[in-house]
Chain A
Amino acid sequence: MTAQPSLDPSKRQELLVEGMLRHLALLDDANASRLSWAAFWDLRTKLAKAELEWTTLSLTMCRLLFALSCCHQPRSLLVLGSHVGFAAAWLLRDRADGRCGAPVQSFDGVDPDRSANVRARRNCELLGHVGCTRIHDETGQSFLGRNRGAFDIVLIDIDEPVAGKAAYAELLKLASPQLSPGALVLGHDPLVPRFAEDIAAFHEAIETDPSFEGPWVLPVDDCGLTLARRR
Protein backbone atom coordinates (compact mmCIF):
# COMPACT_ATOMS: atom_id res chain seq x y z
CA MET A 1 0.00 0.00 0.00
CA THR A 2 1.43 3.38 -0.96
CA ALA A 3 0.87 6.44 1.18
CA GLN A 4 -1.34 9.14 -0.32
CA PRO A 5 -1.08 12.85 0.43
CA SER A 6 -3.93 13.87 2.68
CA LEU A 7 -4.07 17.65 2.98
CA ASP A 8 -7.57 19.11 3.29
CA PRO A 9 -9.26 20.70 0.25
CA SER A 10 -8.62 24.25 1.46
CA LYS A 11 -4.90 23.67 1.81
CA ARG A 12 -4.79 22.06 -1.61
CA GLN A 13 -6.51 25.07 -3.20
CA GLU A 14 -3.98 27.32 -1.49
CA LEU A 15 -1.09 25.25 -2.83
CA LEU A 16 -2.64 25.39 -6.27
CA VAL A 17 -2.78 29.19 -6.17
CA GLU A 18 0.78 29.31 -4.88
CA GLY A 19 1.84 26.98 -7.68
CA MET A 20 0.31 29.22 -10.34
CA LEU A 21 1.99 32.32 -8.95
CA ARG A 22 5.33 30.54 -8.68
CA HIS A 23 4.99 29.38 -12.28
CA LEU A 24 4.39 32.99 -13.31
CA ALA A 25 7.39 34.15 -11.25
CA LEU A 26 5.13 36.30 -9.07
CA LEU A 27 5.86 34.26 -5.96
CA ASP A 28 9.31 33.18 -4.87
CA ASP A 29 11.25 32.51 -1.71
CA ALA A 30 11.89 36.25 -1.28
CA ASN A 31 8.22 37.24 -0.98
CA ALA A 32 6.67 33.98 0.22
CA SER A 33 6.57 35.18 3.82
CA ARG A 34 4.07 37.90 2.83
CA LEU A 35 1.50 35.37 1.70
CA SER A 36 -0.36 34.41 4.85
CA TRP A 37 -3.35 32.13 4.40
CA ALA A 38 -4.22 32.62 8.04
CA ALA A 39 -4.62 36.32 7.20
CA PHE A 40 -6.81 35.33 4.25
CA TRP A 41 -9.21 33.46 6.52
CA ASP A 42 -9.22 36.26 9.09
CA LEU A 43 -10.09 38.71 6.32
CA ARG A 44 -12.89 36.43 5.19
CA THR A 45 -14.34 36.50 8.69
CA LYS A 46 -14.08 40.29 8.69
CA LEU A 47 -15.73 40.55 5.27
CA ALA A 48 -18.68 38.55 6.55
CA LYS A 49 -19.60 41.62 8.56
CA ALA A 50 -19.67 43.85 5.50
CA GLU A 51 -22.63 44.03 3.14
CA LEU A 52 -20.90 42.45 0.21
CA GLU A 53 -22.29 40.12 -2.38
CA TRP A 54 -20.72 36.83 -1.52
CA THR A 55 -21.67 34.95 -4.62
CA THR A 56 -19.89 37.07 -7.16
CA LEU A 57 -16.46 35.49 -6.83
CA SER A 58 -15.55 31.89 -6.16
CA LEU A 59 -13.45 31.17 -3.13
CA THR A 60 -10.50 30.19 -5.30
CA MET A 61 -10.77 33.50 -7.18
CA CYS A 62 -10.73 35.33 -3.84
CA ARG A 63 -7.61 33.43 -2.90
CA LEU A 64 -6.01 34.32 -6.20
CA LEU A 65 -6.72 38.06 -5.85
CA PHE A 66 -5.54 38.06 -2.24
CA ALA A 67 -2.36 36.17 -3.10
CA LEU A 68 -1.60 38.45 -6.05
CA SER A 69 -1.84 41.44 -3.74
CA CYS A 70 0.32 39.82 -1.05
CA CYS A 71 3.02 38.90 -3.56
CA HIS A 72 2.98 42.11 -5.58
CA GLN A 73 2.59 44.53 -2.64
CA PRO A 74 0.80 47.29 -4.59
CA ARG A 75 0.97 50.81 -3.24
CA SER A 76 -1.77 52.01 -5.57
CA LEU A 77 -4.76 50.07 -6.79
CA LEU A 78 -7.33 50.88 -9.47
CA VAL A 79 -10.51 48.86 -9.95
CA LEU A 80 -12.59 49.72 -13.02
CA GLY A 81 -16.06 48.36 -12.38
CA SER A 82 -15.60 48.22 -8.63
CA HIS A 83 -19.33 47.62 -7.90
CA VAL A 84 -19.78 47.14 -4.11
CA GLY A 85 -16.05 46.58 -3.58
CA PHE A 86 -15.92 42.82 -3.08
CA ALA A 87 -13.06 42.07 -5.49
CA ALA A 88 -11.24 45.18 -4.29
CA ALA A 89 -11.51 44.00 -0.69
CA TRP A 90 -9.31 41.00 -1.46
CA LEU A 91 -6.74 43.14 -3.26
CA LEU A 92 -6.77 45.71 -0.44
CA ARG A 93 -6.32 43.02 2.24
CA ASP A 94 -6.70 44.03 5.91
CA ARG A 95 -4.83 47.24 6.65
CA ALA A 96 -4.52 46.30 10.31
CA ASP A 97 -2.96 42.91 9.57
CA GLY A 98 0.81 43.17 9.26
CA ARG A 99 1.32 39.55 8.22
CA CYS A 100 0.96 40.36 4.52
CA GLY A 101 3.39 43.27 4.24
CA ALA A 102 2.59 46.92 3.67
CA PRO A 103 -1.01 48.05 3.20
CA VAL A 104 -2.23 49.60 -0.05
CA GLN A 105 -1.76 53.36 0.18
CA SER A 106 -4.19 54.47 -2.48
CA PHE A 107 -7.33 52.84 -3.89
CA ASP A 108 -9.48 54.24 -6.69
CA GLY A 109 -12.74 52.45 -7.35
CA VAL A 110 -14.59 53.50 -10.49
CA ASP A 111 -18.15 52.62 -11.37
CA PRO A 112 -21.04 54.52 -12.97
CA ASP A 113 -23.50 52.66 -10.71
CA ARG A 114 -24.15 55.19 -7.95
CA SER A 115 -26.15 52.85 -5.74
CA ALA A 116 -23.38 50.25 -5.83
CA ASN A 117 -20.88 52.99 -5.02
CA VAL A 118 -22.85 53.97 -1.92
CA ARG A 119 -22.43 50.41 -0.69
CA ALA A 120 -18.78 50.35 -1.77
CA ARG A 121 -18.04 53.43 0.32
CA ARG A 122 -19.86 51.92 3.29
CA ASN A 123 -17.96 48.67 2.91
CA CYS A 124 -14.62 50.46 2.66
CA GLU A 125 -15.48 52.31 5.84
CA LEU A 126 -16.40 49.08 7.61
CA LEU A 127 -13.13 47.51 6.47
CA GLY A 128 -10.98 50.45 7.54
CA HIS A 129 -9.97 51.62 4.06
CA VAL A 130 -11.69 54.96 4.15
CA GLY A 131 -8.52 57.04 4.46
CA CYS A 132 -6.97 55.67 1.29
CA THR A 133 -10.12 55.19 -0.79
CA ARG A 134 -11.75 57.25 -3.50
CA ILE A 135 -14.88 55.86 -5.13
CA HIS A 136 -15.74 57.64 -8.37
CA ASP A 137 -19.27 57.86 -9.84
CA GLU A 138 -18.23 57.67 -13.48
CA THR A 139 -17.11 55.41 -16.27
CA GLY A 140 -13.60 54.08 -16.57
CA GLN A 141 -13.06 56.07 -19.76
CA SER A 142 -14.05 59.28 -18.02
CA PHE A 143 -11.87 58.60 -15.00
CA LEU A 144 -8.79 57.61 -17.00
CA GLY A 145 -9.27 60.59 -19.29
CA ARG A 146 -8.84 63.08 -16.47
CA ASN A 147 -6.69 61.17 -13.99
CA ARG A 148 -2.88 61.07 -13.92
CA GLY A 149 -1.78 58.18 -11.76
CA ALA A 150 0.79 55.43 -11.49
CA PHE A 151 -1.03 52.25 -10.57
CA ASP A 152 0.61 49.03 -9.42
CA ILE A 153 -2.45 46.85 -9.97
CA VAL A 154 -5.40 47.57 -12.25
CA LEU A 155 -8.41 45.25 -12.18
CA ILE A 156 -10.88 45.63 -15.04
CA ASP A 157 -14.29 44.21 -14.24
CA ILE A 158 -16.82 46.44 -15.95
CA ASP A 159 -20.03 44.82 -17.15
CA GLU A 160 -22.19 47.24 -19.08
CA PRO A 161 -25.85 46.30 -19.60
CA VAL A 162 -25.65 46.17 -23.39
CA ALA A 163 -21.98 46.43 -24.29
CA GLY A 164 -20.82 43.88 -21.71
CA LYS A 165 -17.01 43.83 -21.69
CA ALA A 166 -16.55 45.61 -25.02
CA ALA A 167 -14.57 48.42 -23.40
CA TYR A 168 -11.87 46.18 -21.86
CA ALA A 169 -9.41 46.81 -24.71
CA GLU A 170 -10.09 50.56 -24.72
CA LEU A 171 -9.65 50.75 -20.94
CA LEU A 172 -6.36 48.89 -21.20
CA LYS A 173 -5.07 51.45 -23.70
CA LEU A 174 -6.26 54.35 -21.59
CA ALA A 175 -4.75 52.86 -18.43
CA SER A 176 -1.47 51.93 -20.07
CA PRO A 177 0.28 55.30 -19.56
CA GLN A 178 -0.77 55.21 -15.92
CA LEU A 179 0.89 51.92 -15.02
CA SER A 180 4.03 51.72 -12.95
CA PRO A 181 6.87 49.47 -14.15
CA GLY A 182 6.01 45.85 -13.36
CA ALA A 183 2.33 46.70 -12.80
CA LEU A 184 -0.23 43.91 -13.05
CA VAL A 185 -3.31 44.23 -15.21
CA LEU A 186 -6.12 41.86 -14.28
CA GLY A 187 -9.27 41.24 -16.28
CA HIS A 188 -12.18 39.32 -14.79
CA ASP A 189 -14.46 36.98 -16.77
CA PRO A 190 -12.27 35.90 -19.72
CA LEU A 191 -13.99 32.50 -19.74
CA VAL A 192 -17.60 33.67 -19.85
CA PRO A 193 -18.81 32.59 -23.30
CA ARG A 194 -20.96 35.64 -24.00
CA PHE A 195 -17.93 37.91 -23.63
CA ALA A 196 -15.69 35.86 -25.94
CA GLU A 197 -15.36 38.52 -28.66
CA ASP A 198 -14.72 41.32 -26.19
CA ILE A 199 -12.12 39.28 -24.36
CA ALA A 200 -10.41 38.29 -27.62
CA ALA A 201 -10.01 42.00 -28.44
CA PHE A 202 -8.67 42.63 -24.92
CA HIS A 203 -6.12 39.85 -25.25
CA GLU A 204 -5.08 41.05 -28.68
CA ALA A 205 -4.50 44.53 -27.28
CA ILE A 206 -2.15 43.00 -24.69
CA GLU A 207 -0.35 40.76 -27.18
CA THR A 208 0.27 43.54 -29.66
CA ASP A 209 1.64 45.96 -27.08
CA PRO A 210 5.31 45.07 -26.53
CA SER A 211 5.28 46.82 -23.18
CA PHE A 212 3.22 43.95 -21.76
CA GLU A 213 4.01 40.35 -20.90
CA GLY A 214 1.08 37.99 -21.29
CA PRO A 215 -1.78 37.54 -21.30
CA TRP A 216 -2.16 34.50 -19.12
CA VAL A 217 -5.66 33.20 -18.48
CA LEU A 218 -6.06 31.53 -15.13
CA PRO A 219 -9.07 29.21 -15.50
CA VAL A 220 -9.66 28.63 -11.81
CA ASP A 221 -13.45 28.84 -12.08
CA ASP A 222 -16.23 29.49 -14.59
CA CYS A 223 -15.22 33.16 -14.93
CA GLY A 224 -11.42 33.01 -14.92
CA LEU A 225 -8.92 35.82 -14.61
CA THR A 226 -6.67 37.33 -17.26
CA LEU A 227 -3.29 38.51 -16.05
CA ALA A 228 -0.74 40.69 -17.86
CA ARG A 229 2.36 42.41 -16.59
CA ARG A 230 3.93 45.73 -17.60
CA ARG A 231 7.58 45.12 -18.46
Chain B
Amino acid sequence: MTLCGQRQTEPASDEILPASITRPATVLGICASAKPPLGSTMRSAVRGYLLHALRPLARSSPPVQLLDLRESPLPWFDGRRPEAVDDPNVALAVHAVRSAGALLLGLPGYWSAIGGVFKNFCEVLAGPAYDLAGEPTVFAGKRVGLLVVGADAPSTSAAARQASVIMGSLGARLVAPPVEVLNPREIRSEEQLEALERALLGLAAATLVASRRGETA
Protein backbone atom coordinates (compact mmCIF):
# COMPACT_ATOMS: atom_id res chain seq x y z
CA MET B 1 0.00 0.00 0.00
CA THR B 2 1.49 3.31 -1.05
CA LEU B 3 0.83 6.43 0.95
CA CYS B 4 -0.82 8.94 -1.31
CA GLY B 5 -0.30 11.85 1.03
CA GLN B 6 -3.99 12.58 0.71
CA ARG B 7 -6.10 12.84 3.79
CA GLN B 8 -9.45 11.22 4.16
CA THR B 9 -11.32 14.42 3.50
CA GLU B 10 -12.93 16.07 0.55
CA PRO B 11 -10.56 18.20 -1.51
CA ALA B 12 -9.82 21.42 0.37
CA SER B 13 -9.35 23.25 -2.88
CA ASP B 14 -10.86 22.58 -6.26
CA GLU B 15 -8.84 25.18 -8.05
CA ILE B 16 -8.18 24.41 -11.70
CA LEU B 17 -4.67 25.18 -12.86
CA PRO B 18 -4.15 27.23 -16.02
CA ALA B 19 -2.79 25.45 -19.09
CA SER B 20 0.96 25.06 -18.93
CA ILE B 21 3.71 24.94 -21.51
CA THR B 22 5.73 22.61 -19.26
CA ARG B 23 3.29 20.22 -17.55
CA PRO B 24 0.81 17.88 -19.23
CA ALA B 25 -2.79 17.69 -18.07
CA THR B 26 -4.82 14.55 -17.52
CA VAL B 27 -7.81 16.46 -18.87
CA LEU B 28 -7.42 19.85 -20.54
CA GLY B 29 -10.54 21.97 -20.28
CA ILE B 30 -10.85 24.44 -23.14
CA CYS B 31 -13.19 27.38 -22.81
CA ALA B 32 -14.01 28.60 -26.32
CA SER B 33 -15.93 31.64 -25.22
CA ALA B 34 -14.59 35.20 -25.31
CA LYS B 35 -17.31 36.41 -22.96
CA PRO B 36 -17.48 38.58 -20.98
CA PRO B 37 -16.03 41.70 -22.62
CA LEU B 38 -13.22 43.43 -20.74
CA GLY B 39 -14.51 45.42 -17.82
CA SER B 40 -17.82 43.61 -17.69
CA THR B 41 -18.96 41.64 -14.66
CA MET B 42 -21.27 39.49 -16.78
CA ARG B 43 -20.57 35.74 -16.55
CA SER B 44 -20.10 33.22 -19.32
CA ALA B 45 -22.38 30.21 -18.94
CA VAL B 46 -19.94 28.13 -20.98
CA ARG B 47 -17.09 28.90 -18.58
CA GLY B 48 -19.25 28.40 -15.52
CA TYR B 49 -20.51 24.99 -16.58
CA LEU B 50 -17.10 23.90 -17.85
CA LEU B 51 -15.47 24.77 -14.54
CA HIS B 52 -18.26 23.00 -12.74
CA ALA B 53 -17.48 19.84 -14.69
CA LEU B 54 -13.72 20.18 -14.16
CA ARG B 55 -13.65 20.94 -10.43
CA PRO B 56 -14.44 17.39 -9.22
CA LEU B 57 -11.41 16.28 -11.25
CA ALA B 58 -9.09 18.67 -9.41
CA ARG B 59 -7.37 15.81 -7.56
CA SER B 60 -6.80 13.68 -10.61
CA SER B 61 -3.23 12.95 -11.52
CA PRO B 62 -1.64 14.74 -13.26
CA PRO B 63 -3.93 17.68 -12.49
CA VAL B 64 -6.53 18.96 -14.88
CA GLN B 65 -5.87 22.34 -16.48
CA LEU B 66 -7.88 25.04 -18.18
CA LEU B 67 -7.04 26.75 -21.46
CA ASP B 68 -9.28 29.80 -21.45
CA LEU B 69 -9.35 31.41 -24.88
CA ARG B 70 -10.58 34.65 -23.32
CA GLU B 71 -7.40 34.88 -21.26
CA SER B 72 -5.17 33.42 -23.98
CA PRO B 73 -6.77 34.69 -27.21
CA LEU B 74 -5.54 33.32 -30.51
CA PRO B 75 -4.90 35.37 -33.63
CA TRP B 76 -7.23 34.88 -36.58
CA PHE B 77 -6.38 31.95 -38.81
CA ASP B 78 -4.49 33.31 -41.80
CA GLY B 79 -3.53 30.15 -43.65
CA ARG B 80 -0.33 29.33 -41.74
CA ARG B 81 0.52 26.17 -39.89
CA PRO B 82 0.53 26.70 -36.13
CA GLU B 83 4.28 26.23 -35.86
CA ALA B 84 4.75 29.09 -38.32
CA VAL B 85 2.79 31.51 -36.16
CA ASP B 86 4.99 33.50 -33.78
CA ASP B 87 2.49 33.85 -30.96
CA PRO B 88 2.93 32.56 -27.39
CA ASN B 89 -0.76 31.76 -27.04
CA VAL B 90 -0.67 29.57 -30.14
CA ALA B 91 2.40 27.78 -28.82
CA LEU B 92 0.70 27.30 -25.45
CA ALA B 93 -2.49 25.98 -27.04
CA VAL B 94 -0.65 23.54 -29.32
CA HIS B 95 1.49 22.21 -26.48
CA ALA B 96 -1.40 21.94 -24.05
CA VAL B 97 -3.60 20.09 -26.53
CA ARG B 98 -0.81 17.80 -27.71
CA SER B 99 0.30 16.79 -24.22
CA ALA B 100 -3.14 16.40 -22.65
CA GLY B 101 -4.62 12.97 -22.03
CA ALA B 102 -8.05 14.15 -23.18
CA LEU B 103 -9.90 17.39 -23.91
CA LEU B 104 -13.09 18.73 -22.40
CA LEU B 105 -14.25 21.45 -24.75
CA GLY B 106 -16.84 24.03 -23.79
CA LEU B 107 -18.27 26.13 -26.59
CA PRO B 108 -21.26 28.34 -27.24
CA GLY B 109 -23.86 27.98 -29.96
CA TYR B 110 -25.26 31.16 -31.49
CA TRP B 111 -27.43 31.79 -34.55
CA SER B 112 -27.78 28.10 -35.38
CA ALA B 113 -24.05 27.41 -35.39
CA ILE B 114 -20.89 27.00 -33.32
CA GLY B 115 -19.34 30.14 -31.90
CA GLY B 116 -16.56 31.74 -33.91
CA VAL B 117 -13.94 31.43 -31.17
CA PHE B 118 -14.21 27.64 -31.34
CA LYS B 119 -13.98 27.52 -35.13
CA ASN B 120 -10.94 29.80 -35.15
CA PHE B 121 -9.32 27.69 -32.42
CA CYS B 122 -9.71 24.59 -34.59
CA GLU B 123 -8.40 26.31 -37.72
CA VAL B 124 -5.39 27.90 -36.02
CA LEU B 125 -4.34 24.68 -34.30
CA ALA B 126 -5.04 22.32 -37.20
CA GLY B 127 -3.58 24.55 -39.92
CA PRO B 128 -4.47 24.88 -43.58
CA ALA B 129 -6.42 21.80 -44.63
CA TYR B 130 -5.59 22.34 -48.30
CA ASP B 131 -1.85 22.02 -47.68
CA LEU B 132 -1.77 19.17 -45.23
CA ALA B 133 -2.84 16.30 -47.51
CA GLY B 134 -3.82 13.89 -44.77
CA GLU B 135 -1.14 14.91 -42.30
CA PRO B 136 -2.43 14.33 -38.77
CA THR B 137 -3.48 17.40 -36.83
CA VAL B 138 -2.65 18.08 -33.20
CA PHE B 139 -6.09 16.66 -32.43
CA ALA B 140 -5.43 13.30 -34.10
CA GLY B 141 -6.36 10.43 -31.79
CA LYS B 142 -7.43 12.77 -29.00
CA ARG B 143 -10.42 11.80 -26.90
CA VAL B 144 -12.76 14.75 -26.58
CA GLY B 145 -15.78 15.59 -24.45
CA LEU B 146 -18.03 18.32 -25.81
CA LEU B 147 -20.13 20.71 -23.75
CA VAL B 148 -22.31 22.98 -25.88
CA VAL B 149 -24.22 25.86 -24.34
CA GLY B 150 -26.63 27.53 -26.71
CA ALA B 151 -28.61 30.70 -26.88
CA ASP B 152 -31.61 28.60 -27.86
CA ALA B 153 -32.43 24.98 -28.62
CA PRO B 154 -31.88 25.08 -32.41
CA SER B 155 -28.51 26.81 -31.98
CA THR B 156 -27.41 24.29 -29.37
CA SER B 157 -28.35 21.27 -31.44
CA ALA B 158 -26.79 22.68 -34.59
CA ALA B 159 -23.59 23.61 -32.76
CA ALA B 160 -23.35 20.16 -31.15
CA ARG B 161 -23.71 18.46 -34.53
CA GLN B 162 -21.19 20.77 -36.15
CA ALA B 163 -18.64 20.49 -33.36
CA SER B 164 -18.90 16.68 -33.47
CA VAL B 165 -18.27 16.64 -37.22
CA ILE B 166 -15.38 19.11 -36.93
CA MET B 167 -13.72 17.07 -34.20
CA GLY B 168 -14.06 13.96 -36.34
CA SER B 169 -12.53 15.67 -39.36
CA LEU B 170 -9.58 16.76 -37.20
CA GLY B 171 -8.97 13.15 -36.17
CA ALA B 172 -10.36 13.37 -32.64
CA ARG B 173 -12.90 10.97 -31.14
CA LEU B 174 -15.76 11.87 -28.84
CA VAL B 175 -15.82 10.09 -25.48
CA ALA B 176 -19.60 10.40 -25.26
CA PRO B 177 -22.42 12.27 -26.99
CA PRO B 178 -22.12 16.05 -26.46
CA VAL B 179 -23.80 17.52 -23.41
CA GLU B 180 -26.19 20.13 -24.73
CA VAL B 181 -27.45 22.95 -22.52
CA LEU B 182 -30.29 24.29 -24.59
CA ASN B 183 -30.75 27.63 -22.88
CA PRO B 184 -29.24 28.29 -19.46
CA ARG B 185 -31.77 31.01 -18.70
CA GLU B 186 -34.56 28.45 -18.73
CA ILE B 187 -32.93 26.21 -16.12
CA ARG B 188 -34.67 27.11 -12.90
CA SER B 189 -35.97 24.09 -11.02
CA GLU B 190 -33.96 21.88 -8.68
CA GLU B 191 -34.74 18.90 -10.92
CA GLN B 192 -33.32 20.67 -13.96
CA LEU B 193 -30.19 21.64 -12.05
CA GLU B 194 -29.62 18.13 -10.75
CA ALA B 195 -30.10 16.68 -14.24
CA LEU B 196 -27.59 19.20 -15.57
CA GLU B 197 -25.14 18.32 -12.79
CA ARG B 198 -25.42 14.63 -13.59
CA ALA B 199 -24.86 15.31 -17.28
CA LEU B 200 -21.82 17.52 -16.64
CA LEU B 201 -20.20 15.07 -14.24
CA GLY B 202 -21.02 12.14 -16.50
CA LEU B 203 -19.17 13.89 -19.31
CA ALA B 204 -16.27 14.76 -16.99
CA ALA B 205 -16.08 11.14 -15.82
CA ALA B 206 -16.07 9.77 -19.37
CA THR B 207 -13.34 12.22 -20.34
CA LEU B 208 -11.29 11.30 -17.27
CA VAL B 209 -11.49 7.58 -18.06
CA ALA B 210 -10.57 8.23 -21.68
CA SER B 211 -7.62 10.40 -20.68
CA ARG B 212 -5.56 7.40 -19.67
CA ARG B 213 -7.10 4.86 -21.99
CA GLY B 214 -5.10 6.12 -24.95
CA GLU B 215 -1.82 5.17 -23.33
CA THR B 216 -2.57 1.55 -22.99
CA ALA B 217 -5.11 0.48 -25.55
Contacts and interface: CB of A to CB of B under 8 A. Distances in A.
B5 A222 contact: yes
Contact of B59 (A15, A192, A220): A220
Given A5-B193, A58-B4, A157-B1, A16 B216 contact: no
A222 B6 contact: yes
B87 interface: no
A16 B199 CA distance: 10
A218 B61 contact: no
A207 B192 CA distance: 41
A45 interface: no
Given A15-B197, A55-B7, A58-B59, A188 B1 contact: yes
Interface stretch (B8-16, B74-82, B116-124, B156-164): B8-16
Contact of A217 (B11, B194, B215): B215
B60 A221 contact: yes
B16 to A, nearest CB: 14
Interface stretch (A18-26, A124-132, A134-142): A18-26
Contact of A224 (B61, B184, B198): B61
Given A189-B2, A217-B212, A2 B43 contact: yes
Contacts of B153: none
Interface in A74-117: 81, 83, 86-87
B90 interface: no
Interface size range on B against A: 35 or more
A214 B43 contact: no
Contacts of A222: 4-6, 59, 61
A4 interface: yes
Contacts of B52: 4-5
B10 A10 contact: yes
B3 interface: yes
B1 A87 contact: yes
Contact of B209 (A7, A10, A12, A24): A24
Interface of A: 1-7, 9-10, 12-13, 15-20, 22-24, 53-62, 81, 83, 86-87, 157, 159, 188-189, 191-192, 203, 206-207, 214-224
24 contacts: A2-B45, A2-B187, A3-B184, A4-B48, A4-B49, A5-B52, A5-B197, A9-B56, A19-B204, A20-B208, A23-B209, A53-B1, A55-B7, A59-B8, A59-B9, A157-B1, A191-B61, A214-B217, A215-B216, A217-B212, A217-B216, A219-B101, A223-B2, A224-B212
Interface of B: 1-11, 14, 26, 43, 45, 48-49, 52, 55-57, 59-62, 101, 175-176, 184-185, 187-188, 192-194, 196-198, 200-206, 208-209, 211-213, 215-217
